Each structure stands twice: as C-alpha cells, then as structure tokens.
Structure 1
C-alpha cells in the first residue's frame, strides 16, 4: 500500500467514523481490508481505493468502515466492571429508583452483542425482581452487520466458553444448530439501534448507565471530547459512565469524576445543581 492510499483511507475513516488511524497502521489496514477488496474482485488495497474514489459503490464506504471498526469482544469482558455493576452501581440505582421503578442502560458500541447480553444475564440472575420494573436496554453500533448478528444472539462454542461458566451458559442459552443461542426472554429485553457516535444522539433521552467501553481509544482527542460532552448531557446526575480499562477522562473532559467506590473505570457526571435531572423521570 502506498502512502497516498493510506492517507486517503485515514481521511475517509476519520470523516465517516471518527477512527483515528495515525501513522504506522498499514498492517492493520491490509489485514482488515484485503479480504473486502478480494470479495469485490479487486486485487488489493490500491484498487479498493480507486473503487472508493470513483463513487460507483456507495455501500463500499460503509463496508470499509465496518471492517475497520469491528473489534473483538467477549462475555463479561474484564469482569471487574460487571462486578461493580452488580455490587455498587445497580444496587444504588435500584434504591434511588424505587418509586419510579425504571432504569435505562445504554451500551454505545455493542459489536456482536456480548456486552449487552452480559448486562441482561446479570439483571436476570442477580436482580430478578426488576422483571416487574421498566428496564430499558439499548444496544447501538455503527455496523449494521454486527447488529444483525447480535440480534440473533447465536454464538459458537468458543465464544460462549470465553467468559461464561457452564451453569450460566445452561441457564441463559439453548443449543441451536451446533451453536448456542441466547434465550428468547433475554433477547426480547434489548432494543437494537444502528448509530454512529459522530452523529447526534440527544434524541435517545436520559440514561442511568452508559457503557462506552473500548471505543474512545480509537478516536482523536477532539472527537473524544465531543462524544463525552454529549454523553454527559444524557447521563442522569446520579448515573454512571463505564469506560474501558485503557480509557480515561483525564486530560479529555472535566465533566466527570472517577467513582472511587468502583475498582473499574466508572465515572459520574459533574453538574450544577440547577441542571440535575433523572433518567428515570425524563428519559
């Protein structure tokens, strides 16, 4: 791949998805986009770039973005954030929301679905009384292909073994065509939405918990600030933002504070008293 092709792809990905490649990522581009180029009968990255520049295949731009932004995930990834949800974040919210009996949780880059299904399994197993509450689980992702797969809730033996005990697998999954499928009552709890975080999302309303884990690391600083600012506007005053283990708001946004009771990267919004609102009331 020559430098002009790499520059074109870097600019396109930044413009379409916010992904900041930076220098030295040619190997990643080659590994992700060569199979896509071959599926179109193209010989390599240079021909793929010419095809993109011609504008003859608008869908190809979206496929390039999907190929470059699809990231590996697993059930209960990093474990500690889910321990914090189970033992600290959710019990506190349940106490505060006892009168309205409503909780809203948004997974903002759900990929193939393991994160939001992990939340659904946690709620089902540890907080069964919430079945009588209005609990909203929203799962969004930039990739329609990933959302289609996540909606089906079908995973291989290998994927299910990563992060799940046999007991939890048997409780929450059923065998399906030599694979495993999330049980219907868990799939029904989730709303799926194709969403590019660069686009407006104020229409989604207020949230008690936002999971934006292992996403911001791919953006440049201005994009990180913009996304965190807009999420801040949608986070309840007593709500929590969960970031990935390698992510932080330090040096990015002064609108959050680390929730010291939690061991993982959990942040709470800083607000003026006059602006304090609750997702349970105004979602």
Structure 2
C-alpha cells in the first residue's frame, strides 16, 4: 500500500494508534512515503503499531510532542540527520550466525569447491552479502571459507557486506557479539576464530575480518561496483519491498552474476518478473544464474 493509498483508505485525521503520541493516518502516510522514497521499504496500515512502538521512543528522546511535529521535522532540510535516524529505527535487523544453515551447507559442498580451485590457480572470487545487518551473515560466509581453506587470505577472495544503516554497519565492523548470538557457531570454530572480551562477549578475529569489506549501501541507489559476483546472499531483505521494486532488484542481481553464479534468498521471498526467468532453482531458496532469456 502506497502513502497515497493509506490516505485514500480513510480520513487523514483518523487515529490509527492511540497512546502518548497518537499516530494518525496522515502521519503514517507521510512516514511511509519518506521510507519508500529513501529505502524502497513499503509500509502500510498493518505496520502502524510497529511504527508507533519504534518511533514513539524517539519522539520522547528528542522532546517532541506529536507525530505531526516529527513528520514536519524529518520532512524538512534541517531534519535530514533525523530522517536517517528514522530509517535506522524502522529497519529490522534480526539475524544470527549460520541462519538457514542449509544455504551454508550448499555453499560449502556445491559452490565453494570450484571457486576455491579457481582461486588457488590465481583466479578472482567475489561474494556479496547484501543487507548484512550486524555482520553475522558475512562472518558466517568467511568462517565457511576458512574451514575449507585456512590460507584463504593468500588468495584473491573477498566478501563485500553492505547495509543501508550506518549504525548497524559500525556494529558489524566491530564484530563483537554476546554469547547467545554465537550459540549457532561450532565450538571448535568459536575457539579458533573468536576471542572472549573482559565483558564476556565474543570478538571476531582479525583473520576473519580481513576477508570482508563492510560498506554502507542503499539498494535503491546506484551501486558503485560492476561485479561480477560469484555468489550473492540477499536474504530477508526484499520482503520489505513492494512487488515492482522486488522485480527490479532480481534483475539487477542477475546482471551482476555470471552464468552459473548463485543467489541465496530468504524463505519468505520468491523471485519475480524478468529476473525469475534468468535463474533456475537448484535447492531451497537457492538459485543458479542461467543467463539472459
């Protein structure tokens, strides 16, 4: 549902969420319009409670009295920094190490053997984690590589990890996690590639970090690279986009993958549009690029 559709579905002054800061249909429509314009994320009335719960805390922090005041702020030139803060608050960053582990099994057994053979012969290998959140996905990729080839740092293999939120990218670069976060990391792997901090948290080792370049990137903007990438992970990201935006993203990924390159997506996501015709499904939410139609 677009911002205009939100307004058309009822009176602008209708209150969608009551509370300390009532959220009206007009407020939600303006916030939805900005988020869609900035990040391609589609919000509708079903997300009103989520928007309220996340942004009401922010209103309290910065001393505003209403969502109307907040909309005026983030819609102004003077509120550009706060508009970026709004995006951070509304972006979902749930992840974990080796999430949807069958993808990593497929990567290890089907994809990486040939890529490592190429790299050992002096070839180039590139992997992209798009929408990397706090880094657990790209670190899982790096750990998979290290388990197969401990000397991987001597090869031309690099992982690009991107996310729209600069705050979450900073967390990813730091690579520090609590014990619950790394429960899905094998004990031997944890012992070899992590160190424990005085605060009893877990720090990713430098040998893992050096394989990854973390960058801030808006998937809706121009991408400052041409590829090709041999593997793209984009899981549980495009689910937040509307169908036309999803279709464009799949085509853009296909353009960056060589024939035979692999794309991993989330369990709730489906390929669509022209991009769907350029991939073949080879395993659960796992696709191989078959070239242009």
TM-score normalised by structure 2 residue count: 0.86
Report what 1:271 is aligned to. Answer: 291
Report what 2:264 is aligned to. Answer: 242
Bigger radius of gyration, 1 or 2? 2
Aligned length: 270
Alignment of 1:1-283 (within 5 A): 1-95=23-117, 99-161=121-183, 163-178=184-199, 179-201=201-223, 203-250=225-272, 253-260=275-282, 262=283, 264-272=284-292
Runs of at least 4 residues off by over 6 Å: none
8 Å CA contact retained: 1:109, 1:213: yes
The separation in 2 between residues aligned to 1:19 and 1:271, in whole angstroms, is 28
8 Å CA contact retained: 2:153, 2:211: no
Post-superposition offset of 1:177: 3.3
Which sections of structure 1, spanning at least 5 residues, go unmatched? Answer: 274-283
**C-alpha spacing 1:135/1:170, structure 2 compared with 1 (3 Å):** same
The separation in 2 between residues aligned to 1:62 and 1:248, in whole angstroms, is 29
CA shift digits 1:186-215 (9 cap, x unpaired): 112211111000011162421000111111
CA shift digits 1:208-231 (9 cap, x unpaired): 001111111000111111111111
**C-alpha spacing 1:12/1:252, structure 2 compared with 1 (3 Å):** farther
Provide the aligned C-alpha RMSD in A: 1.9
Report what 2:12 is aligned to. Answer: none
The separation in 2 between residues aligned to 1:202 and 1:271, in whole angstroms, is 22
**C-alpha spacing 1:96/1:238, structure 2 compared with 1 (3 Å):** farther
Which sections of structure 2, spanning at least 5 residues, go unmatched? Answer: 1-22
Of residues 79-88 and 99-108 in structure 1, the stretch that sits farther from structure 2 once superposed is 99-108
8 Å CA contact retained: 1:71, 1:111: yes
8 Å CA contact retained: 2:250, 2:272: no
CA shift digits 1:237-258 (9 cap, x unpaired): 1210110111111457334333
TM-score normalised by structure 1 residue count: 0.89
The separation in 1 between residues aligned to 2:274 and 2:44, in whole angstroms, is 18
Q: Which has the higher contact order (CA 8 A, sep 6+)?
A: 1
CA shift digits 1:76-107 (9 cap, x unpaired): 00111111111112123334555443210000
Post-superposition offset of 1:24: 1.4
CA shift digits 1:26-78 (9 cap, x unpaired): 01101221222222122453332232234322101111111112321100001
8 Å CA contact retained: 1:173, 1:183: yes
SS of 2:258's equivalent in the other structure is strand
SS of 1:222's equivalent in the other structure is helix
